[in-house]
Structure 1
Amino acid sequence: MPHISTLLQPVFRHPGFRSACQAIEAGDFPVALSGLTLPAKALAIAGLAHAFRRPIIILTSDNETADRLAQTAATILQWLEPGAGSSLGVLPAWDCSPYEGRSPHAEISERRAATLWSLSRGASRVIFVPLLAALVRYREKPFYSSLAVELKAGDEVEPETLLAHLTNIGYEPAEPVEDVGQFSVRGGIIDVFPPEADWPFRIEFFGDLIESLREFDPTSQRSRGPAQSALLLPLAERERSSKFFQSLLRNLSERVPAGQREKAGSEWESAYSGPFPGWEFFVPLVERHPSTVFSLLERPLVVWDEFLERKQQLKRILEGWAAAYDDVRDIVPPPPRPEEVLLTEPEFLKAVDAHAQLLLKELPVEAGTWQPENDPSSPAAAPEKFTRGDPDSSSTSQPTAREFVLLSQPPPKFHGGLKVLIEDLRARVAKRETVIFTVPKGGKADRLREILAEYGVPFETAVEGSSDAGTAVRTTRPSAPSPPRPDGIAQEAGEGVTGQAESTGVVTIATGEIEEGVVFPEPGFVLLSESELFGRFDWGPRGRRE
């Protein structure tokens, strides 16, 4: 969307954002960018990904924050680079520890496996990682890249090898195949339903040759037509082969203290000879995990979401795992120690310090003190103390972060107050602010266009596509559309508006998934989402205008 990209430039050209990017490019680390609400952080992350074209890892507090940031950042990056929105991902954190006697939720395991596979292939440009997930010890890239299998008609693969691999990466046998993660075998036919596929696949073999590859309807079990290829993504990041559990039994036997072996006997061995609740946490006892999430990417930029809070959270996580281990350390067999699954604090900080870092903050050290560096009369920005020890420490022996400010604030909430919404939009249009309404694809965008046209608010519709494509704005009275503009936007006058509006001073309607909007007061930029628009207002068929 070239036009949307243009509308975003007031934010990306703001002296605070621009100078932070220049400091990163110059290698002046660490750098802090403050004054950002959560949606503003997502917008900044998308801008960084567009500016640097290098992998970015964002350290967040939890899975929910990672998902919220990723949703907004994916929409913004898609506007900046059509097709790039899919290059963002989330590596979720486990929802349990090795000391609770249960495995992580299946959805979390599936998402982690798919993300690690994508990382290993270099397909992820931006990855949002909760701090706990960043602390985990990982295997090398080649292991994760081998988790998925892509098949085409004409390929040669032993059916037995394929079935063993499906079992190892989390698929379950079922007859018939109806849900994601299931597979079945009938003679020379293998049915399988991988995650992120619209339909399951039916693979017909002639010996070791894939003779045909087709999609089928899981309800009727009838074929829908041929498929060009089938990507069988993993459902687990760790293989559960019989060989692994044999090695695990030997390892666990050696870990049982000599004084307890005779007393405990071997009754526990049968419970650990196959998949058991929490087995995933025992894998590092058998297979080396020498990597960090940072080493899975090439020269990543590490972005901290609220550095001081994450530093305190780091201590809480490690202390919590240590306390939980102490409660169960005497059971037979003993569970993995925290440091066998997670990095220690020094190991983690050493891994982070090997890379460029940016600190995103909501509260600036001293709001309003930043001025462009080429302004000799402006005061210098106050640097944030970036220490490795106690966050309350006043030590100045550690490096400081150069802090730049890009002030943002939440947008107004209209909660269905249509008149208030229209008045707010008219005021912003009169001030020639940049206003972007973001709504999901579908009827809500059509209804919004009808309302803006009815109340005489000038607007335009952004359409993703080639630079010479555009969409005319529907109005409540006939009007000849203007010729398509070279930036990919076509526009015609709304009711009460004559002539063609400029690229500012109008409301732009764009499609995307943004949970919450943001206002940047200084560049006069407003991004609104349906959470501000809809509220309790019923966006149904148009009724009588009050």
Structure 2
Amino acid sequence: MSTTKTSNSVEATLQRIIETPEYQRLLNELQNNSPVISISGLVAGSARALAVASLQRETNKRFAVVTQSTRDLEPWERDLSFWYCALSGKDRCDNELLVIPASESDPYAGVSPHAQTLEKRAVSLWRLRHQKHDIVLLTARALARKSVSPEEIQNAGTVLRLNAEHSPETLAEKLIATGYVREDPVTAVGEFSSRGGILDLWPPGNDAPVRMEFFGDTVDSLREFDPETQLSTGQLRVIEIPPMHELPVMPDDFRLWAEAARERWQDDRFARSLRDRTAFADEGEAFPGWEWLIPIIRTANSSIFDHLGESVLVIDEPGSIEIYLGEVYENLAQRYSEIDQADDIALPPEDLYLSIDDLRAQVQRRQRVELRTLGRSAARQDQDLALDAEAPKLQIGRGRGTRRPTFLFPIADPATEVEWQSQSTMRYHGRVADLAADVRRESEDARTTLFVLPSLGVAERITEILAEYQIESRLSLTGETSDTSVLTPAVVTVGRLSSGFELPGARLIVHVEVDVFDEKTDSVERRGTGADGRRQKVEGKKRRSK
């Protein structure tokens, strides 16, 4: 007797993952709190994201995925968002996935981090404190950077409720201190204006600005409004106002910094550099690069680990991250030395970043999953070669730095190793007849093909092409329910993935648009080496305009 399930075809297709022995072993190790779990064989980034999303949903633990740099966040975010929604049967998963960036600019260049980075980091830390997020994405630098404490980031923001008591003057001062800009009228995120008992504000995460009316210090009205017409569009009972940067700074803080800076850098050689900053600070104004110098009065003793709590660390290519952070620490030490020799003021790296020893200790305290393309055996050989390369018998020309291995994710640590094989998919370059033949052949072998395509129009096009070759398929969107009692050879859905892949053990093939039509998208290169010893490159392609 057949039954109708209240899920969709995409969700039902992905249940094949859970049935594999590799998945069950990983799930068991995670639930038993094994300290280190190493996964090899998952070459494609989208395959890794599927594994991470499915394991997180099953264990209900928060996962913190660590990538090497900011450029790796976008494909990870795109892939995780799609798989999380697909596995949970949702069309949007904005609240379940959180990205925490970190500035990759030179802290000794005399410039502030990019405003967008400061905003996104502060808002993410605020939301991490106030909301439940299942997956957190962050970079290696974000892992190493010192930060404000969870309590400080909570106090930096504000939650306003209707009929609550809150001084509008105090609120305006706090907005300025946390990075909001006074503009009238308010036309963009991060702006506010005040006149009498009315305060307009556009906080991050809101689709429209909010007008707050005060009766004395009582919040009398909260309304969203159209910034063009100024007309109200909806009533609110509560509004969250996250900070635009994580460290609130008032004019008096800059004046205090100027006094402390003169005491710290008393030597005459720093006079010019100091004067360039104190000319602003004495007036209570910010100056370029103040974020890297303010710790002399506002010491940052916390790190991202205090915000993550007991999250499971998921490390994408630990070997690459170790090398990258080793270079970061070496460059920081070298740049600080250069700045000091140039008679410029700066703080040493240990005031801005965790030491390697402290970072290693924090990593060791948490359960972690390592995603290593070739496994720990190959990583051990790479580590031995790296150690030999760092100690040459003869140095010619400029001396080498004092870089030493970081050993953040030691190969010597006992670990459970699981090989979960994935394969690259065929590129058809528009040869739809070959594609149809392969889908039919795969169906005869009890394998299912899932097409993940960037728009409904492209998804419908693929469905029509398959029908022309008498291939039964089902177009199913992740947020809808459908009858899944009858499986079809192919399932077509709408979403964005960085690449296609095949999981032989799960009898699942995933295709993206570039696999079929060979149309150009952005190129994404994996950091690990593939099974053939060459770098794995996912060539994404952008659809040509029509």
TM-score bin (small chain): 0.7 to 0.9
Q: Which residue of 2 aligns with 1:88?
A: 97
Q: Which residue of 1 aligns with 2:464?
A: 450
Q: What is the root-mean-square deviation in Å for CA atoms of aligned residues? A: 3.0
Q: Quick one: distance in 2 between partners of 1:163 and 1:352?
A: 40
Q: Which residue of 2 aligns with 1:156?
A: 165
Q: Which residue of 2 aligns with 1:340?
A: 351
Deviation at 1:387, TM superposition (A): 11
Deviation at 1:464, TM superposition (A): 4.4
Segment of structure 1 superposing worse, 22-31 or 257-266: 257-266
| 2:19 partner amino acid | R
Deviation at 1:317, TM superposition (A): 0.5
| 1:449 partner amino acid | T
* Pick aligned residue for 2:36 from 22, 30, 39: 30
Q: Which residue of 2 aligns with 1:4?
A: 10
Query: Does the 8 A contact of 1:437 with 1:527 survive in 2?
Result: yes
Distance 1:387 1:456, change over 3 A: closer
Q: Which residue of 2 aligns with 1:18?
A: 24
* Pick aligned residue for 1:113 from 96, 108, 122: 122
Summarize deviations over 1:426-456 as a string: whole Å, max 9, x none: 3322322122222345433333333333332
Deviation at 1:309, TM superposition (A): 1.4
* Pick aligned residue for 1:236 from 245, 249, 252: 245
SS in structure 2 opposite 1:426? helix
Distance 1:534 1:258, change over 3 A: same
Matching of residue 428 in structure 1 with residue 442 in structure 2? yes
Q: Which residue of 2 aligns with 1:474?
A: none
| 1:447 partner amino acid | R
* Pick aligned residue for 1:69 from 60, 76, 83: 76
Summarize deviations over 1:293-337 as a string: whole Å, max 9, x none: 122123111121111111111210100111111111256662111
Distance 1:54 1:122, change over 3 A: farther
TM-score by structure 2 length? 0.82
Q: Quick one: distance in 2 between partners of 1:532 and 1:312?
A: 33
| 1:460 partner amino acid | R
Matching of residue 317 in structure 1 with residue 300 in structure 2? no
SS in structure 2 opposite 1:86? coil
Q: Which residue of 2 aligns with 1:419?
A: 433
SS in structure 1 opposite 2:35? coil
Q: Which residue of 1 aligns with 2:392?
A: none
SS in structure 1 opposite 2:303? coil
Q: Quick one: distance in 1 between partners of 2:242 and 2:106?
A: 25
* Pick aligned residue for 1:353 from 338, 342, 364: 364
Q: Which residue of 2 aligns with 1:39?
A: 46
Deviation at 1:465, TM superposition (A): 5.3
Deviation at 1:3, TM superposition (A): 4.5
Deviation at 1:113, TM superposition (A): 0.9
Segment of structure 1 superposing worse, 20-29 or 317-326: 20-29
Deviation at 1:386, TM superposition (A): 11
* Pick aligned residue for 1:278 from 289, 310, 333: 289
Query: Does the 8 A contact of 1:461 with 1:510 survive in 2?
Result: yes
Query: Does the 8 A contact of 1:387 with 1:399 survive in 2?
Result: no
Q: Quick one: distance in 1 between partners of 2:274 and 2:181?
A: 32
* Pick aligned residue for 1:297 from 308, 322, 325: 308
Q: Which residue of 2 aligns with 1:535?
A: 518
| 1:127 partner amino acid | V
Distance 1:533 1:172, change over 3 A: farther
Deviation at 1:261, TM superposition (A): 6.8
| 2:412 partner amino acid | Q
Distance 1:341 1:124, change over 3 A: same
Distance 1:444 1:148, change over 3 A: farther
| 1:269 partner amino acid | T
Q: Quick one: distance in 2 between partners of 1:239 and 1:445?
A: 48
Q: Which residue of 2 aligns with 1:519?
A: 502
* Pick aligned residue for 1:362 from 373, 378, 381: 373
Query: Does the 8 A contact of 1:183 with 1:191 survive in 2?
Result: yes
Structure 1's unaligned 5+ residue stretches are 366-381, 471-484, 490-500, 542-546
Query: Does the 8 A contact of 2:497 with 2:512 survive in 1?
Result: yes
Summarize deviations over 1:442-494 as a string: whole Å, max 9, x none: 4333333333333322112334457xx43xxxxxxxxxxxxxx3xxx4xxxxx
TM-score by structure 1 length? 0.82
Summarize deviations over 1:339-385 as a string: whole Å, max 9, x none: 100011111001100111211012246xxxxxxxxxxxxxxxx6965
Q: Which residue of 2 aligns with 1:327?
A: 338
- The total of aligned residue pairs comes to 494
* Pick aligned residue for 1:410 from 401, 424, 430: 424
Segment of structure 1 superposing worse, 36-45 or 16-25: 16-25
Q: Which residue of 1 aligns with 2:391?
A: none
Query: Does the 8 A contact of 2:513 with 2:519 survive in 1?
Result: no
Matching of residue 171 in structure 1 with residue 180 in structure 2? yes
Segment of structure 1 superposing worse, 221-230 or 336-345: 221-230
Q: Quick one: distance in 2 between partners of 1:265 and 1:13?
A: 64
Q: Quick one: distance in 1 between partners of 2:312 and 2:382?
A: 19
Query: Does the 8 A contact of 2:380 with 2:411 survive in 1?
Result: no
Q: How is 1:200-211 mapped onto 2 (pairs within 5 angstroms)?
A: 200-211=209-220
Greater length-normalized contact order (CA 8 Å, ≥ 6 residues apart): 2
Distance 1:224 1:15, change over 3 A: same
Summarize deviations over 1:268-292 as a string: whole Å, max 9, x none: 4113342111111223322232222
Deviation at 1:265, TM superposition (A): 8.0
SS in structure 2 opposite 1:150? strand
Distance 1:452 1:60, change over 3 A: same
SS in structure 1 opposite 2:299? coil
Q: Which residue of 2 aligns with 1:145?
A: 154
Distance 1:28 1:180, change over 3 A: closer
Q: Which residue of 1 aligns with 2:526?
A: none
| 2:20 partner amino acid | H
Structure 2's unaligned 5+ residue stretches are 1-6, 389-404, 521-542
Query: Does the 8 A contact of 2:64 with 2:311 survive in 1?
Result: yes
Query: Does the 8 A contact of 2:35 with 2:366 survive in 1?
Result: no
Matching of residue 502 in structure 1 with residue 486 in structure 2? yes
Distance 1:75 1:268, change over 3 A: closer
Query: Does the 8 A contact of 1:439 with 1:445 survive in 2?
Result: yes
Query: Does the 8 A contact of 2:270 with 2:345 survive in 1?
Result: no
SS in structure 2 opposite 1:144? helix
Query: Does the 8 A contact of 1:148 with 1:234 survive in 2?
Result: yes
SS in structure 1 opposite 2:492? strand
Q: Quick one: distance in 1 between partners of 2:222 and 2:273?
A: 52
SS in structure 2 opposite 1:146? helix
Q: Quick one: distance in 2 between partners of 1:65 and 1:41?
A: 13
Summarize deviations over 1:503-532 as a string: whole Å, max 9, x none: 2x5211223332322211232211222333
Distance 1:531 1:153, change over 3 A: farther
Query: Does the 8 A contact of 1:383 with 1:401 survive in 2?
Result: no
Summarize deviations over 1:75-114 as a string: whole Å, max 9, x none: 2122222455631121112031221111111211111111
Matching of residue 269 in structure 1 with residue 278 in structure 2? yes
Q: Quick one: distance in 1 between partners of 2:507 and 2:519?
A: 27
Distance 1:147 1:509, change over 3 A: farther
Identity of aligned residues (%): 26
Query: Does the 8 A contact of 1:439 with 1:510 survive in 2?
Result: yes
